[in-house]
Structure 1
Amino acid sequence: MTASIAAVGQARPWVRFGTRRLGRLLVSLWVLVTASFAMIHLIPGDPVRGALGPTAPAELVEARRAALGLNDPILTQYVHYLEGLVTGDLGTSLSSRLPVSDIVAQRLPATLALAGLAFLAAVVVAIPLGVAMGVLTRRGHGRRTELGFTTTSIVVATVPDFLVGVALVYVFGVRLGWLPVAGNDTPQAYVLPVLALAIGPAAILARIVRVEMVRVLEADFVRTARAKRLPARTIYLGHALPNAATAALTLGGLLLGGLVAGTVLVENVFAWPGLGSTIVQSILNKDYPVVQAIVLVYGVGVLVVNTVVDVTLARLDPRSLIREG
């Protein structure tokens, strides 16, 4: 009886946490969908005329408007838009006349691969570097090392991704000719765009890991581990790093969302066949249904990543459940 009561009490924080997170996610999705729908209606002038050009016959413009449902009342259009999202119908491209869902499905894997590899590269570099810097600079040691690391990481983190990409193209593609600078046909073609996306987030994440490691290494449980004469590897990796990973995890989720959005500019630098280059081309062509869909995909990706991070953080740090109560 006592065990069942304890189980119910332990489950209640998770129920409240899940309910709040789900509610926030649904509200955010509704706002995102509504903003995506309103985009085409907030554009000055006639979007169909803008897409087809000033010389397009009036009959063609009117037929295209009717096909898109733009002559229907605004509420009817909104309901049809929601119905299309539920059924996977994102509309038809104004320029290519292809279903927008097919365009997104064709381009999305390249963007996900680029963002995922960049995030993995950032984590693989940042965590060992942050741990090492935390160990070297704890208790005020290594002032010059700390200053050099902090200054370098700040400078690297403030350089825009696309400028890093341009520099990498010039050095390794144009001057040295070591790596391809366009497309994703070969494994070597992934190196430069992944680096361009990963360098800035790796610098930010490494700084956070260092700060958290310095803080955790002064905690009582670490002093106890040292008093027990445990090996340094066990102290740093087994005790300190897991406790320092909480803040890094939160930032890592935000960085992943930023990486997905950052692909827009980097893809255009490297002619990457993903959503980023597609949305820029669609904006230039005034292909608004495609722009709508890609904005929606990017927004949903960021919201899902943030929700997953919140749930993972709650699993690693039960105190967040208490704060939810």
Structure 2
Amino acid sequence: MTALTDAPATAAPAPARRARRLTPLFFARHLLRLAVSLAVLVVASFAMIHLIPGDPLRQMLGPTAPKELVDARRAELGLNDSLATQFVHYVQHVFSGDLGTSFFSYQPVSDIIAQGLPNTLALAVLSTLVALVVAIPLGMWAAVRTHQGRRRGTETAFTTLTGAAVAIPEYLYGLALLLVFALGLGLLPPAGMTGPASYILPVTALSIAPTAMIARLARVETQRELDTDYMRLAHAKRLPAWRLYAVHLLPNTLTATLTMGGLLLGGLITGSVLVENVFAWPGLGQRTVEAITQKDYPVAQAMILLYGALVLIINFLVDMVLGLLDPKSSLSASTRQEG
């Protein structure tokens, strides 16, 4: 106790910084993994159009189109070539940015993506930010309140509510929010992108489940840090609560939590498809569903390639950030403990 009394009351030792592992070998290994994954994705997106039953050209031209017209269009698109030749042409077009033309709107697929992708990314990024801003303080609060087995009721309520929130699909949240706040109370726009208020419902629908998931992880990370020596010393020095939690505790709980947030960003980009349809959001979601239902294969093919590439690239960037900040992240262990 003498050492604690004599030590300065304005600082508490932080855990020793661990050596970074973002070496050239680490970067090269993950870059190679990304390249292989992207190659598999390109092959899968090419194979899709050949594995789906039915004739896409017949779907495009209609069941009554003359056979001569169908054959001429097939030759024009190069569908009479061997699969190997078609694949080489497909790869060349992908790397040149030529993703084909919609069967129905005759609009270049690259233009469709350029129009809708910014709106989809806006929803995904805003939803991730909202989830992080709400979930991290919520998870830390729950950890402090229930530390060392205190307040069992709070712990039960927290785990039950967050578990239920994670289990409900985003589009169901969207439907409920639409019925209550737009159609029922008339407080918010029901559809479209008409201004800042139109972001509230879709962003809320997308962020509820990630908020619950990150809050659960933040609680586990915070509980682990509360049992460390530097936090016990900070408690013994009777530091102000804001300094104790904001200065000493928060930075050491963020690595795994922010990593999870980065991973969820990729999931939100793909998961926004149904939510965008609920709110008639002018992103890629509506075009993706239309392409699948109408069998507009060039658009559907490009969307699979785009969504997959975005998820892979985001995961790669998260790995790089994690390797830079925390070479021995407890993300996996914390997730297993929470589960």
* TM-score over 0.5 (shorter chain): yes
Structure 1 residue 153 and structure 2 residue 162: aligned?
Answer: yes
Distance 1:147 1:13 in 2: 40
Corresponding residue for 1:230? 239
Structure 1 residue 53 and structure 2 residue 46: aligned?
Answer: no
SS of the aligned residue for 2:23 comes to helix
Distance 2:73 2:104 in 1: 11
Stretch of structure 1 that moved more, 225-234 or 91-100 = 225-234
Instruction: Select the residue among 59, 62, 72 that pairs with 2:71.
Output: 62
The alpha-carbon deviation at position 202 of structure 1 amounts to 0.4
Instruction: Select the residue among 180, 205, 210 that pairs with 1:196.
Output: 205
Corresponding residue for 1:269? 278
Distance 1:80 1:148 in 2: 57
Which one has a larger percent helix, Structure 1 or Structure 2? 1
The alpha-carbon deviation at position 190 of structure 1 amounts to 0.8
Distance 1:290 1:129 in 2: 41
Distance 1:237 1:52 in 2: 63
Instruction: Select the residue among 27, 42, 59 that pairs with 1:33.
Output: 42
The alpha-carbon deviation at position 12 of structure 1 amounts to 8.2
Distance 1:218 1:47 in 2: 61
Corresponding residue for 1:244? 253
Stretch of structure 1 that moved more, 108-117 or 311-320 = 311-320
* CA contact 2:20–2:325 (8 Å) conserved in 1: no
Corresponding residue for 1:112? 121
Structure 1 residue 307 and structure 2 residue 316: aligned?
Answer: yes
Aligned residue identity for 1:123? L
Distance 1:228 1:208 in 2: 28
* CA contact 1:111–1:263 (8 Å) conserved in 2: yes
User: 1:255-307: per-residue Cα shift (whole Å, max 9, x none)?
Assistant: 11111111111011111111111010011111000001111110011011111
Q: Which runs of 4+ in 1 moved over 3 A?
A: 10-13
Change (3 A) 1:86 1:133: same
Structure 1 residue 178 and structure 2 residue 218: aligned?
Answer: no
Aligned residue identity for 1:266? V
Corresponding residue for 1:284? 293
Instruction: Select the residue among 100, 104, 107 that pairs with 1:95.
Output: 104
Stretch of structure 1 that moved more, 10-19 or 220-229 = 10-19
The alpha-carbon deviation at position 50 of structure 1 amounts to 2.3
Corresponding residue for 1:323? none
Distance 1:53 1:217 in 2: 66
Corresponding residue for 1:15? 24
User: 1:226-283: per-residue Cα shift (whole Å, max 9, x none)?
Assistant: 2333322222122222222222123222211111111111011111111111010011
Distance 1:26 1:169 in 2: 41
- For these two proteins, the number of residue pairs brought into alignment is 311
Unpaired runs of 5+ residues, structure 1, are 1-9, 321-325
Corresponding residue for 2:266? 257
Structure 1 residue 212 and structure 2 residue 188: aligned?
Answer: no
Structure 1 residue 83 and structure 2 residue 73: aligned?
Answer: no
The alpha-carbon deviation at position 43 of structure 1 amounts to 1.3
Corresponding residue for 2:334? none
Aligned residue identity for 2:34? L
User: 1:157-178: per-residue Cα shift (whole Å, max 9, x none)?
Assistant: 1111111100000000111011
User: 1:17-76: per-residue Cα shift (whole Å, max 9, x none)?
Assistant: 101110000000000011001111111132211233212222332232223221111111
SS of the aligned residue for 1:319 comes to coil
Change (3 A) 1:176 1:155: same
**CA RMSD in angstroms, aligned pairs only:** 1.5
SS of the aligned residue for 1:24 comes to helix
Structure 1 residue 137 and structure 2 residue 165: aligned?
Answer: no
Identical pairs, percent: 58
Unpaired runs of 5+ residues, structure 2, are 1-18, 330-339
* CA contact 1:68–1:91 (8 Å) conserved in 2: no
* CA contact 1:249–1:313 (8 Å) conserved in 2: no
Distance 1:126 1:66 in 2: 55
Aligned residue identity for 1:237? A
* CA contact 1:182–1:272 (8 Å) conserved in 2: yes
Distance 2:202 2:20 in 1: 44
Distance 2:173 2:21 in 1: 48
Change (3 A) 1:12 1:133: closer
